[in-house]
Amino acid sequence: MKKRVYRYLKHIFGTIGVLLGIGIIVLLSLNGSVEYGENPQNINLEKEGPYVFYENDSTLNVNYIRGNKTDGFYLDKQEYQADDSIPAYCYFPLDSTSFDFSIKPSFEIPAASYDDGQPVLAISDIESAYSTFRDFLIQSKVIDSKLNWTFGKGHLVLVGDFVDRGFSTTQVLWFIYKLEQEAAKHGGTVHFIIGNHELYNMQGKFKSASYKYYGVASILGKQHHDLYNQNSFIGKWMASKNTLELINGNLFTHGGIHPDIANYDVSIAEVNAINRANYYKSYFPKPEETLEQLIISNKKGICWYRGYFKDDLSQAEVEKGIDKFNGKAVVVGHTMKGRVKKLYDGKVFAIDVKHPKDYNKNWPNKSSEGLLIAGGKYYRVLANGNKIEL
């Protein structure tokens, strides 16, 4: 009897072990990880903000959340003229730090082409991980420990999906806003390329957003979709950004460039204009594929395309889309890889990696990476600032 029970248990635990081993192999092969150890500070809303909305054409309301679940929440609300330079701060509860910045009354649509020979550092898919983003920039010597810009006239390119899947969306967006101002003072440039998750938030699709922001919206007396709509200052700022840029000969876009786009007479500026006109419109495919449908498509579009990794593309097909916009190569996020990689004979650089989260631990441990382009060479940049030429 004991032997029979032993054999039974042996088979049970053996089967579990095999299934567990297969699961781990699949997880690692997909560059995935298991999250655990959630820090309760992730839903600490004391000093959360600012949330800035247009009251009308001439007035802005600046809101910070105060309080807690036990004593209740209330808004610290200030009203400013829309042409004021508004002093602001953004608090990060995990390490009790904050950064100061000014909310400027206006912003412009950025240029889409740059040619100045300055170094370029690109990173993508931060997904609301403020401390990861901040610390990577410090180690890469883009900013110092006091968050001052130290990258000179260089280009910091943020290749989409800096929101969702985390608890620090507000901190990340205002940090980008602050970095833009810091860079400009030194002749540098921050390029915020719109990805599909930025589109989600502008279009009111919140399946990937943290539950924290439903609470934030409720305290503000709003719906979730109001946080980034056209009445929101940060939403309006985000909607001014591009989806495709050419920087010192290299193209940057979140998803990729479908080869079919070369069949149309279209410029980078026109690609951005078409996308920008549709930022607040949910996409549904039409019977006929037009240029607009191709550019905004959630399969073939600039913000969505995964063909470099999912389709059986030839080298010529890959180069067809890149050549259309006079690029040497294209740098993309959107499709996760284990590390920053050079593909298709150096025509495609994939930079979406699994970044650590602010309020969770991961197994296996993950670390950030980015891509540095300097002196005509491409480097994989590690979280500690070390560089490996590709």
- Higher pLDDT pick, 36 / 156: 156
Q: Of 220, 219, 301, which is closest to residue 254 (Cα–Cα)?
A: 301
Across 38-59, average pLDDT: 93
* 265 φ, ψ (degrees, to nearest 5): -90, 95
* pLDDT at 325 > cutoff 50: yes
pLDDT in tens, 89-125: 999 999 999 999 999 988 899 999 999 999 999 999 9
Q: What is the mean pLDDT of the chain?
A: 92
Tally of structural domains, the chain:
3
Residues 359 and 317 in one domain: yes
pLDDT in tens, 71-95: 999 999 999 998 889 999 999 999 9
pLDDT in tens, 234-286: 999 999 999 999 999 999 999 999 999 999 999 999 999 999 999 999 999 98
Confidence of residue 57 (pLDDT cuts 50, 70, 90): confident
Residues 255 and 314 in one domain: yes
Residues 204 and 303 in one domain: yes
CA dihedral 293, 298, 301, 305 (to 10 degrees): -150
Q: Which amino acid is at 166?
A: G
Q: Is 35 inside any structural domain?
A: no
* pLDDT at 381 > cutoff 90: yes
Residues 216 and 122 in one domain: yes
* pLDDT at 136 > cutoff 70: yes
pLDDT in tens, 179-197: 999 999 999 999 999 999 9
Residues 337 and 227 in one domain: yes
* pLDDT at 363 > cutoff 90: no
Task: Supply the range of the domain harboring residue 71.
Answer: 40-103
Angle between helices 130-139 and 169-185 (to 10 degrees): 30
pLDDT at 365: 72
Q: Is 90 inside any structural domain?
A: yes
Residues 200 and 233 in one domain: yes
Q: Is 377 inside any structural domain?
A: yes
Residues 258 and 188 in one domain: yes
pLDDT at 266: 98
- Global confidence as pTM: 0.92
pLDDT at 21: 44
Q: Is 360 inside any structural domain?
A: yes
CATH number at residue 332: 3.60.21.10
Residues 92 and 117 in one domain: no
- Higher pLDDT pick, 20 / 225: 225
Residues 328 and 206 in one domain: yes
Q: Is 329 inside any structural domain?
A: yes
* 28 φ, ψ (degrees, to nearest 5): -70, -35
Q: Is 108 inside any structural domain?
A: no
Residues 240 and 332 in one domain: yes
Residues 15 and 137 in one domain: no
Contacts with 74 (C-beta within 8 Å, 6 or more apart), sequence order: 65, 66, 67
Domain boundary among 79, 103, 127: 103
Task: Report the distance separating Cα 237 and Cα 251, nearest Å.
Answer: 22
